[in-house]
Amino acid sequence: MIMYFLLLSFLILGGGIKYIDAAYDDKTFNKKLALAIAPVLGLLWAYTMLINEVAATILFAVLLGVLLKGKIDNRAHLAGLLIIFGVIFLMGVELLFLPLIFLAAAALLDEVGNDVVDYNKKYLKRNKLLHKFLIYFFDQRWLLKIAVLCIALVGIIPLYFFLAILLFDYAYLIVRWYSQSRQEKPSSLPRERARVHKTLLEIGEIFK
C-alpha cells in the first residue's frame, strides 16, 4: 500500500512544483493559488520523507540539487521549503548516507547541465545527433533518473523508486507543456502533444 502512496506523492510533487514555477516565471498560472498550494506541497514532501528512508533520500537529493544551484527563487517555493525543513528539524528523518551523496551529485549536475543547455540552445544544432541528445538529456534531467536506476539495479533500493522519479519528472514536464501551450500559437500545439504522448508511451514500454 505504501508503494502506491509514494508513487502518487512523487507524481503530485513533480506537477505541483512546476505549477508554482510556471505561475511565477511564465505567468501562465495563478500566483495566489500557487502560494496557497505551496505549504500543502511542503507538508506532503515532508510527510513522504518521514515515512520512507528511500523516498527521503531521493527527495532530499533533489532539494540539495536545486538549493546548491540557487533555484529557490520565489515566495511560494521558499514557503514550501521552510515547512519541509521545519518538519524535518522537529521530527527528524532517516537518510541513506552514501546513496544521498551519489544522488545529490547527480541532481546538481542535472541542474548545471540544464542551465548550460538552456543558455546555449542557439549554438546547439538540432540536426546534430549529439546536440539533440544533450538537449533532451539535460532538458529532462535524466542523470538523476539513471542514478536512481543504478542503485535500484544493484539492490540498494526497490526498483519502483525508478518509476517514482519518472512520475515526478514527467508530471513536471507535462505541466510545463501545458504552461507553454497557453503561451504558444495554436499551430504548434499538435507537435507538443505528440511529443508528450511519445514520451508516455516510452515510459509504458519500460515497465511492460
- Find out whether 36 and 54 touch, Cβ atoms under 8 Å: no
Mean pLDDT of 157-174: 95
Across all residues in the chain, what is the average pLDDT?
86
Q: Summarize pLDDT for 6-63 with one digit per residue, the tens.
A: 999 999 999 999 999 999 988 889 999 999 999 999 999 999 999 999 999 999 999 9
What spatial distance separates the first Cα and last Cα of the chain, rounded to whole Å? Answer: 21
Nearest-10 crossing angle of helices 75-91, 31-51: 20
Mean pLDDT of 66-80: 88
State the pLDDT confidence band at 184, using cuts at 50, 70 and 90: low
Distances (CA, A) of 157 to 23, 53, 154, 164: 34, 10, 8, 12
Mean pLDDT of 87-95: 91
Mean pLDDT of 127-131: 70
Mean pLDDT of 60-87: 91
- How many domains, in total, are found in the chain? 1
Domain residues for the domain of 125 are: 2-206
Q: What is the DSSP string of the chain?
A: -HHHHHHHHHHHHHHHHHHHHIIIII--S-HHHHHHHHHHHHHHHHHHHHH-HHHHHHHHHHHHHHHHTT---SHHHHHHHHHHHHHHHHH-----HHHHHHHHHHHHHHHHHHHHHHHTTTTS-TTSHHHHHHHHHHHTTHHHHHHHHHHHHTTSS-THHHHHHHHHHHHHHHHHHHHHHTTS-GGGHHHHHHHHHHHHHHHHHHT-
What are the φ and ψ backbone dihedral angles of 2, each rounded to 5 degrees?
A: -65, -30
Q: Quick one: 140 exposed, middle or buried, by C-beta within 10 A (0-12, 13-18, 19+)?
A: middle
pLDDT at 121 over 80: no
pTM (2 d.p.)? 0.83
Q: Summarize pLDDT for 97-111 with one digit per residue, the tens.
A: 999 999 999 999 998
Stronger pLDDT, 163 or 185, i.e. the higher one:
163
Mean pLDDT of 128-157: 88
Mean pLDDT of 167-183: 90
Q: What is the pLDDT of residue 71?
A: 82
